[in-house]
Amino acid sequence: MSDTDHDYCLIDVSRPPKADGPPYAECVLCREPTEYPESYKGVTLCPVCEWREAERTSCSG
């Protein structure tokens, strides 16, 4: 329980760079190709999983 949790609606996500073309990195959740370059070091999510994660982590009101 923390008061700072209420401020978490503002998610400052540093987006990975969009790839100019293949090879694309795989989604870490469903293994679908993402829009991110394979060389990207970090968590890559396909548009679907990215959207779901955003829904899950966003402020539910």
Cis peptide before 23 (omega within 30 of 0): yes
**Which stretch in 5-13, 15-23, 41-49, 51-59 sits in contact with Zn ion by CB under 5 A?**
41-49
- The footprint of Zn ion on this chain (CB under 5 A) covers a number of residues equal to 6
Nearer to Zn ion (CB atom), residue 6 or residue 15: 15
25 binds Zn ion (CB under 5 A): no
Angle at 22 between CA 20 and CA 28, to 5 degrees: 105
Nearer to Zn ion (CB atom), residue 22 or residue 61: 22
Helical residues (DSSP H) of 1-61, grouped into ranges: 47-57
